């Protein structure tokens, strides 16, 4: 039988933040930029550039 294991941790646990920081500092700048680009593409779609948005407001 498989037992489920759940670990509950605080969202802003300082140890977790330091672990994340150590992890990302261990990566090369190229890997970090590639990861940010990957996350951007997931959020904004597969476009190579960010969409430009212009809104014109007429003053009366």
Please report which residue ranges of the chain form alpha helices under DSSP H.
14-25, 29-44
Cβ–Cβ under 8 Å, residues 6 and 14: no
Domain boundaries along the sequence of the chain: 14-44
Tell me, what's the pLDDT at 8?
82
Q: Is this prediction's pTM over 0.75?
A: no
Higher-confidence residue: 56 or 29?
29
Cβ–Cβ under 8 Å, residues 8 and 15: no
Tell me, what's the pLDDT at 33?
94
pLDDT tens profile 12-51:
778 888 888 999 999 999 999 999 989 888 887 766 666 6
Using alpha carbons, list the distances in angstroms from residue 40 to 28, 37, 46, 57.
19, 5, 9, 29
Cβ–Cβ under 8 Å, residues 37 and 31: no
Kindly report the number of other CB atoms within 10 A of residue 5's CB atom. 5
């Amino acid at each position: 039988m498989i037992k489920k294991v759940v670990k509950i941790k605080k969202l802003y646990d300082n140890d977790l933040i330091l672990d994340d920081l150590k992890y990302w500092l261990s990566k090369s700048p190229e890997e970090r930029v590639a990861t940010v680009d990957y996350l951007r593409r997931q959020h904004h779609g597969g476009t190579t550039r960010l969409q430009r948005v212009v809104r014109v407001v007429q003053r009366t």
